[in-house]
Amino acid sequence: MLTPEEWGAVRLSLSVALRSVVFGLPPAVLAAWLLARGRFPGRALLDALVHLPLVMPPVVVGWLLLVTFGVRGPVGALLNDLFGIRLVFTTAGAALATAVMSFPLIVRAVRLSLDAVDPGLEAAARSLGAGPIDRFVTVTLPLIAPGILSGAITAFAAGLGEFGAVITFVSNIPGETQTLPLAIYSATQTAGGEATAARLAAISFALAIAGLLLADLAGRRLAILIGRAPR
């Protein structure tokens, strides 16, 4: 049904989205925790910064990444010199761009569930002898697990379709950075590519729907599992 190139784009999309979620999740949970529980100067600024990718044109995000993580950019040059890591025009770079774009989605989901956790439970854990990391791992984390899971799945589904930031930062290289939306874009630019574009668009649609339904289902199942919702 699909050509090997088209399959490649689908596989690449899945891989990029998965990596973006895996690497984006820990900092997103940390940011959500800081925003929900932290009291420090610059909290409003951090909040704005986290949500920036949601409102800024993706091209701008991609361009900022290019400036920062490019071979001559401040961070990019360092990574290249010290570890030989190159992000521009690579799959890893595509994952980074996708992670930045879906970051606010995870933060929002995690923060919503953090707000729903009674701080009194953490106080109770304290009085029972649990230190800060102990009570985060044994009380807070399990209680926000539904939020983390549904945030991760939503971010994964959205990451499959990230276009502007990816194409700006890592270009459109088949087999390397040409994810599903980029392949659809290329197909529409090619004479006789309508059929390819339609097939890929249908897959994209199916993946997005499946992702959203799964996120909802997983969140609800987990909430029941951890006793936050009645069976």
Partner 1 sequence: MLEVALRHRFPGFALDTAFIAPTPGVTAVFGPSGCGKSTLLAAIAGLLRPEEGRVALDGAVLLDTAARVMMPAERRRCGVVFQDSRLFPHLSVETNLRYGLRRAPRDAEGPGFAEVVDLLGIAHLLPRRPAALSGGERQRVALGRALLSRPRLLLMDEPLAALDAPRRAEVLPFLARVRDRFRAPILYVTHALDEVDRLADNLVLMEAGRVLAADTVEALSTRADLPQLAARRDAGALLPCTVLAHDPARGLTRLGFPGGELRVPLREEPPGTRMRVRVRARDVSVATEEPRGLSVQNILPVTLESLGPAAPHEAMLRLRLGGAVLLARVTDDAVARLALRPGQRLWALVKSAAFAANTPSLENPG
Residues binding partner 1 (CB under 8 A)? 118, 120-121, 123-131, 134, 138-139, 142-143, 226-228, 230
Residue 18: other Cβ atoms inside 10 A = 16
CB of 137 to partner 1, least distance (A): 12
Q: Please say which residue, 175 or 227, places its beta carbon nearer to partner 1.
A: 227
Q: Which residue has the tokens 């529980």?
A: 37
Q: Please say which residue, 132 or 175, places its beta carbon nearer to partner 1.
A: 132
Please choose, from the candidates 218, 106, 216, 114, the residue with its C-alpha nearest in 3D space to the C-alpha of residue 155.
106
Q: Please say which residue, 81 or 134, places its beta carbon nearer to partner 1.
A: 134
Residue 227: other Cβ atoms inside 10 A = 10
Q: Please say which residue, 2 or 225, places its beta carbon nearer to partner 1.
A: 225
CB of 231 to partner 1, least distance (A): 8
Q: Please say which residue, 85 or 141, places its beta carbon nearer to partner 1.
A: 141
The Cα–Cα gap between 11 and 200 comes to: 12
CB of 222 to partner 1, least distance (A): 10
CB of 75 to partner 1, least distance (A): 38
Contacts of 204 (CB under 8 A, 6+ apart): 160, 161, 180, 181, 184
- Residues 93 and 69 sit within 8 Å (Cβ to Cβ): yes
CB of 179 to partner 1, least distance (A): 37
CB of 183 to partner 1, least distance (A): 43
Q: Please say which residue, 134 or 216, places its beta carbon nearer to partner 1.
A: 134
